[in-house]
Amino acid sequence: MSIFWRTGTLGLWGGFVYYVIELLWRGYSHPSMFIVGGICFLLIGHANRFLPWNMGIIWQSLIGAALITVVELVSGIIINIWLGLNVWDYSHMPLNILGQVCLLYIALWIPLSGFGIYLDDYLRWKLYGEERPRYKLI
């Protein structure tokens, strides 16, 4: 199976899951969040390919949370500031950067990253016959 097919399929899974999570959390979403969620999922999965299996899931999740925060900042600058779509605005929150990220939300990205790591590994194992996932906590 081609790398483009795998990447596209995994990106769709990530976008769908993120979009649904946002619907459940906020009650609404925006189509751009499907794309942002897919990008985050692909980056977490890609980083996960380079990290050793014996690296604790907590450390992997912290790396994933940092990746999500960077993607949120960059996509916020593009979507909200440059394009003026005003999909989200954290300017009223403490520790925000340009109103596009709130550093307090990193606490939410950590478990979401852990879930993303697990889902990426599971999909790669079940759909593409890659190595069976195994984890350690720390």
Across 80-93, average pLDDT? 97
**pLDDT at residue 138 greater than cutoff 90:** no
138: number of Cβ within 10 Å: 7
pLDDT for the residue 1: 67
pLDDT in tens, 6-18: 999 999 999 999 9
pLDDT for the residue 111: 97
pLDDT in tens, 107-128: 999 999 999 999 999 999 999 9
Q: Name the more confident of 91 and 52.
A: 91
The structural domains of the chain, with segments of one domain joined by +, span 3-128
Residue 116 in contact with residue 40, Cβ under 8 Å?
Answer: yes
pLDDT in tens, 26-56: 999 999 999 999 999 999 999 988 888 889 9
Quick one: what percent of the chain has pLDDT higher than 90? Answer: 91
Arithmetic mean of pLDDT over the chain: 95
Sign of the four-CA dihedral 7, 12, 15, 16: negative
**74 to 39, 78, 125: CA distances (angstroms):** 12, 6, 31
pLDDT for the residue 116: 97
- Which residues have C-beta within 8 Å of that of residue 57, sequence separation ≥ 6? 114, 117, 135, 136, 137
Residue 113 in contact with residue 57, Cβ under 8 Å?
Answer: no
